């Protein structure tokens, strides 16, 4: 993502006459334009796939046809009608429904309309799905699911991040120890995805020991007492969160540990050791500081990954989050919901990347901004 940032010093020298402000603002402008273009193209591709160049239309038309025929057949008033009147009624209703879902305009036009509306975060209406409160607004559908996903992903991703960074730092200080070797030995377990561990956890804790629920967000009916409610949610949260954590914990620790080890084998760390600094000081000043940009990047990307939810883990645990909603939306061919979810992720990603670029450019002395001309 930092290809426009020229690290080379020569290029920077040539432009040294230009003021810093102009340089930075030009850099910012270029960055905003490229990122926006990326978002536009990415979202357009998603719209294309979600529409399949018209194939979904055909499915939906057939669906509407079938539904209307069913409705008319079940309508006692329609039974008394003459066949041709009934046929006309069916046709009218089909046409109305087709118009309501916007299927009467060509796919290309519709795609661009979606694109422009979505880029303005005007997410529109779902074709079939409704929120629990009964609204068809994509915004409401997504907002309704957001807390559950934030709770699950937030808990697991944050604890995963802090656990692994902290443990990795500890391990890197005494590598070669038994714990270190154990972590290395366990890191291949991360090859399996979270739902896989989820199944095992359900088997052990829900099916065999019967101490935790199989899935869902709260007990049914939800406890009226707020304390019981929180307790019930926590009980339901334990297994999915734990399976998300366990599935990537060891590899994550291993990666961070290796990363810290590379930095702690630098000469200046040896120098600091020779000076007799405490290991705490060395860690803070000479290991954590140079690795901070990477840690920040990882943390930022982690925060936005929370948005997407965990489609399969949520499905396996029947967790009513965004991931499961997205999966259901795909099952319903509900393009607005799919695209709505994608565009928000795309924006979040673009904004994060942009902010990170700017922060690096301002903070890290090794990155010189706007000096390079792209080749």
Partner 1 sequence: MKTLKKNFLEILRYPSAVIGGAVILILIGIAICTVIAIPYQKAITLWRGGEEIWYRNPKNAAPEWLNWFTSKKKPLSFVINESEGNLVKVVEPEDNGTNHVTLTYTFDYNYDAFPQEIALYFTAKYDQKQPFASLIWKTPDGRSIQFGGFGVSSKQTYRLSQDFNLMNSMGGVNPMEGLFTGIDSREPVKGTYQLIVNGITFEKDDDLNAEFVLQGQLYGWAGTDHMRRDLTIALLWGIPIALIFGLVASLGTLVLTMIIAAIGVWYSGWVDELIQRITEVNLVLPFLSILIMVGTFYSRSLWVILGVTILLSIFTGSIKSYRAIFMQVRESLYIEAARAYGASDLRIIFRYLIPRMIPLLIPGLVSSVPTYVFLEASLAVLGLGDPVLPTWGKIIDDAWVNGALYKGYYYWILEPAALLMVTGLAFALLGFALDRVFNPRLRGM
* CA–CA separation, 258 and 256 (whole Å): 5
For residues 177 and 272, give the distance between their C-alpha atoms in angstroms, rounded to a whole number: 23
137 has which bridge partners? 125
CA dihedral sign, ordered 305, 308, 312, 315: positive
Distance CA 213, CA 206 (A): 6
Beta bridge partners of 303: none
> Which one-letter DSSP state was computed for residue 373?
-
| DSSP summary character for residue 234 | H
> Least separation, in Å, of the C-beta of 239 and partner 1?
12
Using the structure block, give the residue that is written with the tokens 């357009």: 44
Counts for the chain of helices (H) and strands (E), in that order: 16, 0
According to the binding rule CB under 8 A, does residue 207 interact with partner 1? yes
User: Least CB distance from residue 32 to partner 1, whole Å?
Assistant: 14
- Which of 33, 96, 185, 234 touches partner 1 by CB under 8 A? 185
Q: How far is the CB of 74 from partner 1 (least distance, A)?
A: 29
Single residue of 188, 211, 222, 234 touching partner 1 by CB under 8 A: 188
Residue 42 lies near partner 1 (rule: CB under 8 A): yes
Residues 314-343, one symbol each (x = binds partner 1 by CB under 8 A, - = not), give -xx---------xx--xx-x----x--xx-
Q: How far apart are CA 95 and CA 84, in angstroms?
A: 16
Per CB under 8 A, which region of 17-25, 31-39, 135-143, 144-152 contacts partner 1?
31-39
- Smallest distance from the beta carbon of 193 to partner 1, in angstroms? 5
312 binds partner 1 (CB under 8 A): yes
Give Cα separations from 369 to 288, 352, 365 (angstroms): 24, 18, 10
Kindly determine how many residues on this chain lie close enough to bind partner 1 according to the rule CB under 8 A: 58
Q: Which of 140, 152, 202, 217 binds partner 1 (CB under 8 A)?
A: 202
Check residue 189 for interaction with partner 1 (CB under 8 A).
Answer: yes
Q: What angle do CA 336, 342, 346 make, to 5 degrees?
A: 140
> Which of residues 69 and 150 has its CB atom nearest to partner 1 in the complex?
150
196 is a site residue for partner 1 (CB under 8 A): yes
Cα separation of 321 and 26, whole Å? 40
Q: Which CB sits closer to partner 1, 224 or 375?
A: 375
Q: For residues 51 and 335, is the Cβ–Cβ distance under 8 A?
A: yes
**Do residues 197 and 246 touch, judged by C-beta distance below 8 A?**
yes
Q: Give the distance, in angstroms, between the CA of residue 256 and the centroid of all CA atoms in the same chain.
A: 22
Residue number, 38 or 65, with CB nearest to partner 1: 38
Return left, alpha or beta for 176; rule: phi > 0 is left, psi -120 to 50 is alpha, else beta. left
Cα–Cα distance measured from residue 56 to residue 54, given in angstroms and rounded to the nearest whole number: 5
Choose one: 7-15, 18-26, 47-55, 282-290; the region binding partner 1 (CB under 8 A): 47-55
Of residues 151-180, which lie at the interface with partner 1 (CB under 8 A)? Answer: 175
Q: Which of 346, 357, 368, 370 binds partner 1 (CB under 8 A)?
A: 346
* Interacting span for partner 1 (CB under 8 A) from 137-145, 183-191, 230-238, 271-279: 183-191
Smaller CB separation from partner 1, 49 or 90:
49
Burial class (CB in 10 A: 0-12, 13-18, 19+), 147: middle
Q: Least distance to partner 1 from the beta carbon of 235, Å? A: 18
Q: Which is nearer to partner 1, 250 or 286 (CB)?
A: 250
Specify the residue, 55 or 225, whose C-beta has the smaller distance to partner 1.
55
Q: Look at residues 177, 158, 160 and name the one whose alpha carbon lies nearest to residue 252.
A: 160
Residues that bind partner 1 (CB under 8 A): 1, 3, 34-35, 37-39, 41-43, 45-46, 49-50, 52, 55-56, 175, 184-185, 187-193, 195-196, 199-200, 202-203, 206-207, 214, 258, 261-262, 308, 311-312, 315-316, 326-327, 330-331, 333, 338, 341-342, 345-346, 349-350, 374-375
């Amino acid at each position: 993502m930092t290809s426009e940032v020229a690290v080379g010093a020569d290029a920077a020298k040539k432009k040294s006459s230009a003021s810093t402000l102009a340089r930075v603002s030009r850099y910012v402008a270029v960055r905003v334009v490229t990122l926006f273009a990326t978002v536009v193209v990415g979202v357009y591709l998603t719209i294309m796939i979600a529409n399949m160049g018209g194939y979904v239309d055909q499915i939906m038309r057939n669906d509407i046809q079938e539904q209307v025929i069913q409705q008319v057949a079940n309508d006692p008033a329609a039974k008394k009608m003459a066949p041709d009147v009934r046929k006309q009624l069916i046709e009218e209703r089909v046409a109305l429904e087709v118009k309501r879902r916007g299927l009467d305009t060509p796919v290309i036009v519709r795609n661009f309309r979606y694109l422009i509306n979505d880029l303005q975060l005007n997410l529109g209406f779902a074709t079939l799905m409704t929120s629990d409160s009964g609204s068809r607004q994509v915004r409401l559908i997504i907002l309704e699911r957001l807390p559950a996903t934030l709770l699950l992903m937030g808990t697991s991703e944050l604890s995963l991040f802090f656990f692994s960074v902290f443990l990795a730092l500890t391990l890197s200080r005494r590598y070669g120890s038994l714990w270190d070797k154990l972590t290395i030995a366990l890191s291949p377990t991360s090859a399996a995805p979270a739902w896989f561990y989820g199944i095992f956890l359900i088997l052990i804790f829900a099916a065999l020991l019967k101490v935790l629920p199989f899935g869902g967000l709260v007990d049914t009916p939800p406890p009226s007492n707020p304390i019981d409610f929180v307790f019930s949610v926590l009980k339901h949260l334990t297994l999915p969160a734990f399976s998300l954590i366990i599935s990537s914990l060891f590899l994550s620790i291993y990666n961070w540990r290796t990363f810290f080890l590379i930095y702690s084998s630098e000469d200046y760390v040896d120098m600091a050791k020779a000076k007799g600094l405490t290991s705490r000081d060395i860690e803070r000043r000479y290991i954590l500081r140079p690795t901070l940009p990477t840690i920040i990047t990882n943390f930022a990307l982690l925060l936005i990954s929370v948005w997407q939810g965990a489609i399969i883990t949520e499905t396996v645990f029947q967790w009513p989050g965004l991931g499961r909603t997205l999966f259901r939306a795909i099952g319903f061919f509900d393009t607005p919901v799919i695209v709505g979810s994608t565009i928000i992720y795309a924006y979040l990603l673009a904004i994060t990347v942009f902010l990170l670029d700017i922060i690096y450019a301002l903070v890290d002395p090794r990155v010189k901004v706007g000096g390079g001309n792209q080749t």
